[in-house]
Structure 1
Amino acid sequence: METTPTARIRAADADRERVATAVQTAGSEGRLTLEEVEERLTRVYAARFTDELTELTADLPRPDPPRPGFPLTREALRRHPALRLHLAVAVAVAVLVIVRWAVLGAGFFWPAFPLFWLTVSVFVHARVRAARERPRAAVPY
Structure 2
Amino acid sequence: MNERQDIERAVRASDTERERIARLVSEAAGEGRLSIAEADERLERVYTTKFRHELTEFVADLPAERTRTAPTGLERFPARLRVHAAVAVVVSVLLILRWAAMDVPFFWPAGPMFVLWGTFLLHARLVRSGGVPPWARQRSGPPWWVERQRVGG
TM-score (norm 2): 0.43
Q: Return the structure number with greater helix share.
A: 2
TM-score (norm 1): 0.47
Larger Rg: 2
Higher relative contact order (CA 8 A, sep 6+): 1
